[in-house]
Structure 1
């Protein structure tokens, strides 16, 4: 007997219609929530793509050209602030429920930590034979006497000041009560509890902005350089105008190369950070007390809301034990300090 085959069925194999007679999806049912997962990966792609330039900037900042306008130096001066990309991406991920933005934030955080993660660790330790403070006191400081008293109260063995200006005699008078030995050359000065010899200017600019002296500590002589590198200017016409500063850095580097003493301390206002490639001539042969023995970035300028560390304590043949910033004075810079083992 012949059985008729319905046109809606295949002659063999399982029935592929549902109860309503409609064909089922030949691929089978999708896993629950798979469409939502797909949407979460598609969301936030624009924000994640916008993060790409920041990640590339962090990873390849050394490839940013320094001419014209010293753009590379400008980027490197504020490179730690690229960390702000991470919370922005995480906020986008939260608002958009975007898995893509989470991954972008993780990548940005990993690259940033590879550059600056060590700065998040407190590297300060006890001990030290010589405490040094350096401060750009600001020639327009409304209270130079108060600033001098605050620096003397820090307990430092050596105090270096930059941008003394018309208040030089005020600093001399107030600091003399604690520091018996002093040398001033132009706009920079050095005050010490220990004897100071050979205090002479270092030629880095058309007028005296640097000095070199030998401090006779109980553990032997230390060459101390106090420098105030020339200022930089940011203008639409010339960009990051750091040419004069870079030239003064090269001159300072020459004096450091000629220094015969094995223990050297270089302090002052560099008008630039140690990340700035244009200052490599000075920083390459020295160690940063803040980077080696500080906590955080130690930003020092501007005092009201510090965004960069342009005031430095660098050493050679000396071991940094701790580094820190002092409370604000009447200056637009914060004083910075370090304890050193000789």
Structure 2
């Protein structure tokens, strides 16, 4: 069968096959129609250009945004990755305005965002192999299906599971649903730890709340012993009169950081709902000494809350003295949080 060739009229009026370069020139000409010879393309869009530069500056110097007014700095850092969503919008507006100045300015936030978050878009998981699989889930005190939630988490294959926001009434249901998979467990206050391997040196951790929302235990796994911390830091609030309020969360984060710093075992895993992202300066007491498994070995942002439309990763798995292998989020359960999981290698910890 003869191959059909696309033809177009050439400059000299004859017909012939249309080359890709010619098509590209025609598309470029259409896109820039009305731009050539227009001196206003540099004068238009100055406001758009200023907004683009401001957006880039916010992403670059977010750590210097003060918390003195409504904890604005922490609020910005909680949703920092979403600032990148404004880049396509600014690009579209620059094209509509036919502003060369704005188009060039939009490059700044685009480059900054890619520099800060571009690495999260790649799959950093190491080659499959052995190791310990851990998971954590804020099960939600108002969960109407605790048994189903427990089964879903156990189905992940995790060797160690931490649960937060446990109610006294729901604890027996979780214990019953997880008993066949996890031989060892302990519940301290509103947090609990379930393990396939022996637990020892179990104790609550004081995070300055007046009641128990954190615990510590030693897990004796095939690769050796490691300290596992489970924590549910206080919730943050956005109030009209006070802005982003998180004073109690910040105090508890500092106390948790001190407890982990005093840990005698060199291999440590932290599981829990920290009500803050790795970018949030308020968690520095913890994040300065530990690595996020999602940041080190995950694929994507790993957003965990709210479960119906995840916008932030406030449920964390952090490690020190062990090597993250891979990290991921689990399917939605009856909670308003997604469970998160990770596999770590106890033998090659740094």
- TM-score of the superposed pair, with normalisation by structure 2: 0.86
Trace 1:159-170 onto structure 2 (pairs within 5 A): 159-165=161-167, 166-170=169-173
Q: Which residue of structure 2 lines up, in the alignment, with residue 6 of structure 1?
A: none
Deviations 1:142-173 (A, max 9, x none): 11110001111111000100001131110000
Instruction: Name the SS for the 1:179 alignment partner.
Output: coil
SS at match of 1:292: helix
- Alpha-carbon shift at residue 38 of structure 1 (Å): 2.2
Q: Which of residues 270, 285, 298 is equivalent to 1:266?
A: 270
Indicate the residue corresponding to 1:68 in structure 2.
Answer: 69
Distance in structure 2 (CA, Å) of the matches to 1:240 and 1:35: 48
Q: Output the CA distance in 2 between the equivalents of 1:177 and 1:34.
A: 70
Cα gap change, 1:160 to 1:39, in 2 (>3 Å): same
Q: 1:156 aligns with which of 158, 169, 173?
A: 158
The whole-number CA distance in structure 2 between the counterparts of 1:105 and 1:214 is: 50
User: Which residue in 2 is equivalent to 1:58?
Assistant: 59
**Structure 1 residues 283-331: Cα deviation after superposition (integer angstroms, max 9, x where no partner):** 1000110000001111100000111100000001000010000000010
Give 1:184's match in structure 2, choosing from 160, 182, 187.
187
2-side partners of 1:35 and 1:70: how far apart? 47
Match for 1:222 among 216, 226, 251?
226
Partner of 1:202: 205
Aligned residue number for residue 145 of structure 1: 147
* In 2: Cα distance, 1:81 partner to 1:55 partner: 13
Unaligned runs of 5+ residues in structure 1 are 1-32
1:301 to 297, 300, 305: 305
**How far off its partner does 1:86 sit?**
0.9
Contact 1:290–1:323 (CA under 8 A) maintained in structure 2 = yes
| In structure 2, distance between residues paired with 1:63 and 1:312 | 24
1:289 is the counterpart of 2:290: no
Q: Which runs of 5+ in 2 are unaligned?
A: 1-33
Two-structure CA RMSD over aligned residues (Å) = 1.3
Given candidates 239, 256, 269, the residue that maps to 1:252 is 256
Query: In structure 2, the residue corresponding to 1:280 is in which secondary structure?
Result: helix
TM-score, normalised via structure 1 length: 0.88
State the Cα deviation string for residues 163-192 of structure 1 (Å, max 9, x = none): 011311100000001000001001000000
Which structure is larger by alpha-carbon Rg, 1 or 2? Answer: 1
User: Would the aligned equivalents of 1:128 and 1:321 in 2 still touch at CA under 8 Å?
Assistant: no
Aligned residues: 310
2:332 to 306, 328, 333: 328
Report the Cα distance in structure 2 between the residues aligned to 1:34 and 1:87, rounded to whole angstroms: 21
Structure 1 position 94, deviation (Å)? 2.5
Structure 1, residues 243-274: CA drift from partner, whole Å, max 9, x if none?
A: 00011111111111110001000010000011
Kept in 2: contact 1:300–1:307 (CA 8 A): yes
Counterpart CA distance in 2 for 1:261 and 1:84 is: 42
